Each structure stands twice: as C-alpha cells, then as structure tokens.
Amino acid sequence: MIKRKRFRGPQKSLPIDIIQNEILVKLPARSLLRCRCVSKLWCSIIDDPSFASSHFKKCQSNQEKNRLLVLEPPDIIESKQFCAIRNGEKFRKMSKIGLDVTWFEQYQAVSYVNGLICMKRYIKETQISNILLWNPSIRKALELPFSQFSNDAKIRHDIDCALGYDHINNDYKVVASVYIGDDPLHPLHIPRHVYIFTLSTFSWKSANTDRGPCLWIKGGPKVFVKGVIYWGGIYVLTKPSPKGRFSHFVSFDVINDVFKYIDLPDSEHVNIWEYERFPILLDQSIALLEIFESYSQIWVMEDSKGMEQSWTKRFNINLQLLERCIYFKMDGELLFTGEKGGVNSYNIRSHETKVLAKSYKLSPIFVSVYRESLTLLKGIPERASFTFPSHGTSQIE
C-alpha cells in the first residue's frame, strides 16, 4: 500500500479581499447568515455596513435574477398569508414564506426599498395599525415603536406610511401620517400628525407640514425614486379644476426632511377619480399614469433642476389593461390579470403582450421587483429585532 504524505507546512488562509470580494459577496443572503458562524473574521466582514452595500449592488447588477416579490391576500380560514418570490419572466414560483395571521389581523405591504418591505399590521378589533420593517431575505423584522402616536393606545386610528432611503447618510426613513377617529377605510383625510422615523437612531420625530393645496390620499400607491417619496393628492374645492380631482403629487425628500406639493398636468377629464391618476416609476423618473374609459396615457416629470416641474406626455396605451394592472415595472412592462385569471404582461414600447401564467387565480395585494439585502442584520436594538412570525419557508428552486 502506498502511503500518502501529508503536508505539514504552515496553513495559509485566503487574503481578506478575496474572501470578501470573490466569495462572500456572490452568495445569497441566507447563505451569508450561515457563513457568519464560520469564524469571527467572516462574521465581522458580513456584519460590516459597507459589505451589505456591496452585496446589494451586486444583486442589483445581476440581470439574470429577474425576480418579483408577491404578497398574496390572506386566507383567514387557514390562518395563513403567503409572500412568494416569483420569476419575473414566467411568474413561476421560486420560493414562498408563510406568514401567520388571525381572524383579527392582516398584513399590508406599503412600499419596498433596497430589500426592505414597509408593512402595516392592521388589527380589525381595535382598528389600530402597527408599522413593521421586514427583510424577507434574512427573515428579520422590526416593529417600530408606537407610543407617541397616541396617548391612549385604544383610541381608534389609522396610519399611512412609506419607506425611503437616504443615500447620503446610508440610512432608512419612514414617513407616517396618523389619522385619528375617522373612518379608516375612507381614502381622503387630513392627517392629524405626521412623524418621521430614522432607522439609525431608532427614533421618531414630529414633522412640520402645512395643509397645502390638496388632501392626501390615504392608502394610495407610493413611489420612491432618487431620494424622494411620492404619493397622490386630491383637489377638494367644489369648483371644477382643469387638473381634475387628482391635482397634485405630495412629495417627501428623505435626505432633507422636506415636504412639497407638485402640480400635475391638466386632465382631459375633469371629473376623473383619484385612483385613475397615480404615480409610477419609469426609467428612474417619476411619472403619472392616467386611466380613462377606453385608453390610458403616461406623463413623465422632467428634471427641472430646482425650477418649476414640467410634464411631457410620452405614451398612449390604446388597450384598457390598466384596470387589472398589478405592477408597473420601471422598464415599461406592466403586469395585469387576465379576464379569466392568470397573469399577462404588456410592453408599452413594443406593444407586445405575453401570457406569463395561465392558472394564477389570486389577485396580489402587493408586487415589486425583488432584490436580496442584508439590511436589519446588525446595528439596531436587539430587543426590536425579531424573526417574522411564520409557519415555514419552502424553496422551489
């Protein structure tokens, strides 16, 4: 028998830059959680905020991973709600996360930024909403402190919120408008209070806002782009306006904590209702999507560099698809439900329509492009972080 010689020389480890830039940065987020247990060195690399940023940029640049995050409606009878990761080309389910729900509560996704979902947990019995930040990549969540919204937690109130990212300070902010004592299902109100939550300090502060020229649309679509969150505003005077009822965008600059009101272009139909004109993201620009009875059109807000905003009409869509629209991709592809179920796509530039899924019967309550992220891994109070209540995760591929 031939004896093999064992090498007894000094064991050399890989250089740190190779470990970080050639190995770890290419791994999925859940694998990185296990890699944190390999050594103190690996744990310190993965927990470093700069590594989290490099890892997220790597995920963004990987065009092959075209994935969608889909939050499905709750099944109250079986006490479950699913958040699925689906292929963006064929809408095929790749993995899913089961969220525990009860008869008295449900989860609503509000916005998705850099791998973080801003969610509301609505408790029907008390009609009180809590705000959560959840990272589905690492299954970690935060329940934001809530006491300052109301001196009495039993007072009926509703909260509208949105998430944004401050790229200057590498920080996340939530703007929350609080409505007290009114019908929580009514979409138009003046917020009683407005607060801003900063993740790095894990604290809220009161925001200074004026009433402005319009009411805020509570629960409508939110869009975050280039450091600014946009949502809709409603013209409330009885006198008709050339802009229609949907007259403004309300904006919040997450870097400077500044609110503004942006005039929308005149509407072709002055009696148009609020959800037929709403903000979308198109090619990294804020845009206005208008839905009429037989056609739709898209306006893009030009970069005015501090001057008054101007709008340019870019696209006319002759198909009445947008009533069933579930998501508008930044590249101009929209996903919509078919008349008999299923999910289709329509490209506003090529006018090409494709069938993505024939048998999908649910109507998603939230859809967004999915990107893996390590945010919420470290740097927040341990008592505030928890594993999202769920009944298991299944990996399809």
- Same domain (yes/no): 222, 257: yes
Residues 236-261: what's their mean pLDDT?
Answer: 81
**Residue 7 has what pLDDT?**
44
3-class SS of residue 73: coil
Average pLDDT, the chain: 78
In a domain, 189, yes or no: yes
What region does 396 belong to: left with phi over 0, alpha with psi -120 to 50, or beta? alpha
- Same domain (yes/no): 39, 94: no
312-324 b/e (C-beta count within 10 Å ≥ 16 → b): eebeebeeebbee
Residue 15 has pLDDT above 90, yes or no: no
**Confidence class of residue 188 from pLDDT cuts 50, 70 and 90?**
low
- Same domain (yes/no): 63, 29: no
Question: What is the residue range of 31's domain?
Answer: 16-47
Q: Where are the alpha helices (DSSP H) in 177-256?
A: none
Residue 175 has pLDDT above 50, yes or no: yes
- Same domain (yes/no): 42, 65: no
Residue 128 has pLDDT above 80, yes or no: no
Number of domains in the chain: 2
Among 145-159, 261-275, 300-314, 332-346, the range scoring the smallest mean pLDDT is 145-159
In a domain, 131, yes or no: yes
**Residue 157 has what pLDDT?**
67
In a domain, 341, yes or no: yes
**Residue 2 has what pLDDT?**
54
Among 112-121, 195-204, 321-330, the range scoring the smallest mean pLDDT is 321-330
- Same domain (yes/no): 142, 230: yes
Distance CA 101, CA 240 (A): 44
Distance CA 195, CA 182 (A): 19
**Residue 230 has what pLDDT?**
95
* Amino acid in position 142: L
- Same domain (yes/no): 65, 43: no
* Amino acid in position 10: P
CATH number, domain with residue 160? 2.120.10.80
Residue 9 has pLDDT above 50, yes or no: no
pTM exceeds 0.75: yes
- Same domain (yes/no): 131, 42: no
Among 185-194, 250-259, 283-292, the range scoring the smallest mean pLDDT is 185-194
In a domain, 52, yes or no: no
In a domain, 4, yes or no: no
- Same domain (yes/no): 192, 235: yes
Residue 162 has pLDDT above 70, yes or no: yes
**Residue 381 has what pLDDT?**
56
**Confidence class of residue 11 from pLDDT cuts 50, 70 and 90?**
very low
Residues 24-48: what's their mean pLDDT?
Answer: 85
- Same domain (yes/no): 160, 304: yes
